Every structure is written in structure tokens, then in C-alpha cells.
Amino acid sequence: MRNPHAGEPFELSDAVIARHLEDLSVPALLLSCVHLGETEEERRAILDGPLRPQGIYLNEYQGFMSAEDQAAARELALGVIARWRDRGCPEPDPVPPAMLEQMMDWAACEDVGADYVPMMLEEMGLDGRDQRAVEATSGAADYPVVVIGCGMSGLLAAIRLQEAGFPYVVVEKNAGPGGTWFENTYPGARVDVGSHFYCYSFEPADHWTEFFARQPELAAYFERVMDKHDVRRHVRFSTEATGATWDETTATWTVHLEGAEDLVARAVVCAVGQLNRPSVPDVPGSFDGPSFHTARWDHDVDLDGKDVVMVGAGATGFQVAPTIADRVRSLTVIQRTAQWMFPNPGYHDETGPGVGWAIRHLPFYGRWFRFLIFFPGCDTGLLAAKVDPDWEPQHQSVSEINEMVRVMFTEWITSQVDHDPELVAKVVPPYPPTGKRTLQDNGSWLRCLTRDNVELVRAGVDRLEVDGVVDTDGTKHPADVVVWATGFHVNDLLLPLRVVGRDGVDLRESWGTRPRAHLGVTVAGFPNLFLLYGPSTNLASGGSIILASECEVAYAMSCLTMLATSGKQTIEPTQAAYDEWYQRVQDEVRTMVWASPHIEHNFYKNADGEVHILNPFRLVDYWAWTREADPADHVLA
């Protein structure tokens, strides 16, 4: 069978191909041409030639190549591709492993490092195999599993359980799959990780119409993947799980459902997400008009010509405001803390027809494009997030690299609004960069704030009145509609599920304000329970949460495989492994900017100022640790 990434044959004219090439990333295009070389010399001629990227940077798809070099590279590629077309588009011979490593170094403009190569190869699956697929597991049929949630992680778990042969049911409170991408339909909702990377490694997508897809395309993607993998018939939509209780005598979990019969299973995968339960601050007073949280957007409320007050502006509000500003009469944004933003001029760019065509037809183009998005954003962000205790002043930046980032971000912000010193004073954050989630910016946010009908208020909310919102400076902002862009109950993991494990222990009660799980997935005293996107798995400085989920699911499946093949009843982490992981996470996370006492408000911290939701380690390490469960860290009984 032809390698699915090797390109479907085509018969386009040179002129049409040339038009498609205009839409492409030149480094990824040249790497595709390396695959097309018929001899080692032809391949080397490209890799050793003068047309090459000059640097790698997040969302910089052209590798800083000059316009002349890009044009010359496209011309070279057109010749290679046309000759391949004329030969009937045969499947290219595999590139030897040593050359693949050189191709990575070429794309990265640096030695990618021996530890990254296997992860990147697995992620890209250049041999056409889904290298994270799970083999049929003997004994799996005896271990029915309930998956709670059919968002990105729950769907992934379902696909892997199906591959392995575990009987499973997914319960999902919503009427469709996709979780956050099903629920967040607010105007302007789009992903801020490049779409060609923000998709499952084994289900790359050639159909994204924008480089950072909007919510409807994402929701459609998860529907499509669900159907392609024949998961739908296992999902009970509009069915909410309220909790799960472990029965030691039968070694089963009973999953309790709202308004439906309990389900009984040998294992539970809990995939309810971290950004799932909207948080609306409890402020006194009441407002008489329409009012809703962004994750519960009321599309029946017409905003045209209305006075709108939006409270909060993190990642969500940042997308909402520019999208609605030209429809409303006035928009008041009450934003307690300014946000750092990352320059990404192409944030709203369309892909053009060439990108989809290239992913379908040019061997491995999509795979190398994924590499170009993934590698520069993988772990380098951690360097800027690490606190140097000797660095001063800590309230401004936490290390030399962090200071460089602060200067760069500050220049990006001020360059857009330097004509308005009052606004500059409001929008340049007074805390170290990357301490809160950094937002992608193409200028739309600050452009929106300079509109005559938009006002940015740097304050909190004091109270509601029937016809407006009063801020903490005492100013009243009249409103026809109030929008709460105030985020989620991120630190109340699993809320409102009641999960009761061995000896009647309630999981959320036992955690208190300190949720934890071994590798973010398994919990001592809660056998056969697997959390996805659980404690210490969120990413604050790069990568994609889909990759993190693929790691977590690999680890969970490895545990389940160990269980099923052993024929035993239960698997759980040893107390020692569980405690050691927690300590290791806490020791590391305390050294990161997210825990800085100079950041007053930050959803990464719990009420005690501690961070329990973030993964402070390199993704490449987390990937290595989760590939296979270590039997020494587990108790099988």
C-alpha cells in the first residue's frame, strides 16, 4: 500500500503547479523535493545547496529566506515536481535515517539533538504508519472501559481503546464531540497553535482554510475523525456523568449518569478537560439585560448597535473584542490585568488552495510543515520561563532571556500605539513575560482598542446595576449586554464529578487545593482510573495540548495493556512513584515564572498561589516518560 504521506498522483500543468507553490512554505517544499530526488546526489544537491532557511522561529514558515531565494527555490521545486509528475508520481524511495536527521537539522538551522529525533520521527510518521497506534491486546475484551468526555482527549482515548480491542462507551454531556471546540462558539474563536500541528499526529488535515483555524472548522474536524474511526456508535451524547465509585469487591467502577442508568466498567478514562466549567465572578448586584459567559455565547442576542460591556480579556476576550467592535455601538472592555502578546502577523491568514493541494500531492510536504511549526515552539519557551534567582528586578523579568523577551514584546506593543501614551501605559504589562498565557497577536487587538467606540478600562468589577457595570474605581459603564470573558474553574480539576476510590476516598476532597496524578494520569488509591489533561499536564510555553494528550493516552494504554495481558484485576501507581512525581513537579514548577509572586492574577495558580495544573518539563522528556508505563512504578493486583 502506498505511504499515505507520499502524495497522490496528479496531472496538473506546470502553470497550475507554480501557482500552488506560491502558497507554500519554501523550506517544507524543498524538503519534499529531497524525497523526490532519484539518487543520493540529487537529494544532496538540495540539502547541500545554497537555497536553505536562515533561521527557525515560531510561525515563520519561510525560514527567513530572502524573496529572491524563495523565488529561486520555487523554480527549482517546480522542475523537480514536474519531472516527478511526468514519471507518473511514483512513490519515492525511503530516505535513509541519517539523511532524515540531516533534513531536520537543515530545517531547524541547528542540531535538533539526539533526544528530539525519535520524538519527531514518531510524530511525523514518515513511514506512513501511525506509530502511536495500539496493537490488538490479548485479554482486552474482558476489560470494559467508560470514557467520560468526548472532547479532543476522550475521542483520542476511544480510538486507541478500539484499536486495542477494549469494549468501551463514551459518555458526553454535549450533543456532539470536540469539547471546548463544541462549546466555545463565541465570535472570533480560533485556535492559537498552528492548525497543521493542532491536529492528531495520525490524522493530519489538508482542509484547513486558515493557518489558525476558526471554531467551526475545528468542530467539524473532530466530527470527521470520530466518524472515520467509527467511534460515534460508542458515544452517548447529551449524557452527563456525575461521578464514579470504585467497588473493591468486584474491582469495578460504577459510573453515575444524570437521568440514566449507571454504567459498570473495569476502568474509567476521565477526559473532562481543564477549560470546561465557566467561571463568572460572584459580584454583588444584578443586571437586567442579557448577560452570558463566552463559553455559553447566546447567539440569539443581537449585539448590533448595542452598548456592550465585556468583563475580562484573556485569550478569549482578546479574540472576541476585535470581532464584535464594528457591530456594537460601544464596547467597554474591563480588563483587570494587561496581557503579553506575541507577534504573529499571519495569525488570521488564509492558507490558499496550494497548501491543501501540497499536503495531498507533494510527498511529505505536510509532515515537514508540521515539523516547522512544532520544533521551534516545542521546548524553547521553557528557557524564557525559568527563573534565575539572581536576576533583578524580578517584578519586571525573571532572567536574562526573559528580559530579552520582555523588550521584544514591549517593542511589538508600543510600535503599534506609540502615538497614544495613555494607551501604552495601560497595555504594556507590568509583570514578567510568559508569566500568564502569552497571546498571539497580529495587531487586531490594539487596533480594536484605538477605535472611537471602544474603551479599555484597567480595573476590576465592583458591582452590577440593572443597566450597567460599576468598576473597582467607581465608574459606571452603561450596558445593554454584559459578556463575561472571565475564564474557567481551571484549578478545580474534575469539577463537578464526584470520584470515589478505594476506602470511600473522594478524589477531589483528598486533593484539596493540590490536585496530582502520576505523570498527570494515574492516582494511587484509585485503581484503573486514568485522567487525561489532568494535573500538571497543561502547557504554558509551547507545544500543543493534542501532543500532550497523545502522550497521556500512550501511557494510559500501556497501563491497560499491562493489566489486560496480566489477567489481573487492578493497576495503579505505587505510592512511592506517585509521591515522587508530585514532588518532582512541584520542585520544578516553583522555579518557573508562572509561580512568580510578582504575578498577581494568573489562572495557573490556585488560591494559595501554587501551580498544580502545568507541566514544567520539556515535552521531549514527558514524551519519553509516557511512552511505556514502567512496571516498577505500578502495582498490579
Tell me how far, at minimum, the Cβ of 585 lies from ligand NAP, in Å.
19
Give 392's DSSP letter.
S
What's the chain's length in residues? 637
Q: Is the CB of 485 or the CB of 585 nearer to ligand NAP?
A: 485
Q: From CA 328, how far away is CA 325, in angstroms rounded?
A: 6
Tell me how far, at minimum, the Cβ of 313 lies from ligand NAP, in Å.
5
Tell me how far, at minimum, the Cβ of 357 lies from ligand NAP, in Å.
27
- Residue 448: phi, psi to the nearest 5? -65, -40
Tell me how far, at minimum, the Cβ of 274 lies from ligand NAP, in Å.
8
Q: From CA 213, how far away is CA 195, in angstroms rounded?
A: 6
Q: Is the CB of 46 or the CB of 493 nearer to ligand NAP?
A: 493
Q: Is the CB of 225 or the CB of 461 nearer to ligand NAP?
A: 461
Q: Which amino acid is at 507?
A: L
Tell me how far, at minimum, the Cβ of 441 lies from ligand NAP, in Å.
11
Angle between helices 365-378 and 116-124 (to 10 degrees): 140
310 in Cβ contact with 332 (< 8 Å):
yes
Q: Is the CB of 239 or the CB of 537 nearer to ligand NAP?
A: 537
Give me Rg for the CA atoms of the chain.
25
Tell me how far, at minimum, the Cβ of 214 lies from ligand NAP, in Å.
10
Q: How far is CA 343 from the centre of its chain?
A: 18
Tell me how far, at minimum, the Cβ of 230 lies from ligand NAP, in Å.
29
Q: Is the CB of 266 or the CB of 437 nearer to ligand NAP?
A: 437
Output the CA torsion sign for 482, 486, 487, 492. negative
Tell me how far, at minimum, the Cβ of 120 lies from ligand NAP, in Å.
23
Tell me how far, at minimum, the Cβ of 295 lies from ligand NAP, in Å.
7
**Sheet arrangement for strand 260-265:** 260-265, 252-257, 241-247, 498-500
Place of cell 531565494: 69
Q: Is the CB of 139 or the CB of 460 nearer to ligand NAP?
A: 460
Tell me how far, at minimum, the Cβ of 456 lies from ligand NAP, in Å.
11
Q: Is the CB of 118 or the CB of 460 nearer to ligand NAP?
A: 460
Q: From CA 370, how far away is CA 208, in angstroms rounded?
A: 13
Q: Which residues bind ligand NAP (CB under 6 A)?
A: 190-192, 275, 281, 311-317, 319, 335-337, 437, 460-461, 485-487, 601, 603
Q: Is the CB of 132 or the CB of 190 nearer to ligand NAP?
A: 190
Q: Is the CB of 299 or the CB of 584 nearer to ligand NAP?
A: 299
333 in Cβ contact with 445 (< 8 Å):
no
CB count, 10 Å around CB of 236?
17
Angle between helices 365-378 and 26-36 (to 10 degrees): 130
3-state secondary structure 222-284: HHHHHHHCCCHHHEECCCCEEEEEEECCCCEEEEEECCEEEEEECEEEECCCCCCCECCCCCC
Contacts of 421 (CB under 8 A, 6+ apart): none
Q: Is the CB of 243 or the CB of 429 nearer to ligand NAP?
A: 429
Maximum separation of any 2 CA atoms in the chain, in Å: 76
Q: Is the CB of 235 or the CB of 311 nearer to ligand NAP?
A: 311
| Closest of 255, 140, 244 to residue 563, by C-alpha | 140
| Closest of 244, 256, 147, 171 to residue 505, by C-alpha | 244
Q: Is the CB of 35 or the CB of 436 nearer to ligand NAP?
A: 436
Chain residue at closest Cβ approach to ligand NAP: 314
Q: Is the CB of 335 or the CB of 522 nearer to ligand NAP?
A: 335
Tell me how far, at minimum, the Cβ of 141 lies from ligand NAP, in Å.
38
Q: Is the CB of 330 or the CB of 440 nearer to ligand NAP?
A: 440
Q: Please state whether 341 falls in left (phi above 0), alpha (psi between -120 and 50) or beta.
A: beta
Grid cell digits, residue 586: 512541584
Place of cell 504594556: 428
Q: From CA 530, how far away is CA 518, in angstroms rounded?
A: 10
Tell me how far, at minimum, the Cβ of 275 lies from ligand NAP, in Å.
5
Tell me how far, at minimum, the Cβ of 297 lies from ligand NAP, in Å.
12
Angle between helices 40-47 and 97-108 (to 10 degrees): 20
Q: Is the CB of 71 or the CB of 280 nearer to ligand NAP?
A: 280
CA dihedral 558, 559, 562, 568 (to 10 degrees): -160
Query: How many helices (H) and strands (E) in the chain?
Result: 20, 21
- Residue 111: phi, psi to the nearest 5? -75, 115
Tell me how far, at minimum, the Cβ of 341 lies from ligand NAP, in Å.
12
Tell me how far, at minimum, the Cβ of 418 lies from ligand NAP, in Å.
24
Percent of the chain as helix, strand, coil, to the nearest 5: 35, 15, 45
Angle between helices 545-566 and 152-164 (to 10 degrees): 30
DSSP string, 127-163: TSS-TT-----TTGGG--EEEE--SHHHHHHHHHHHH
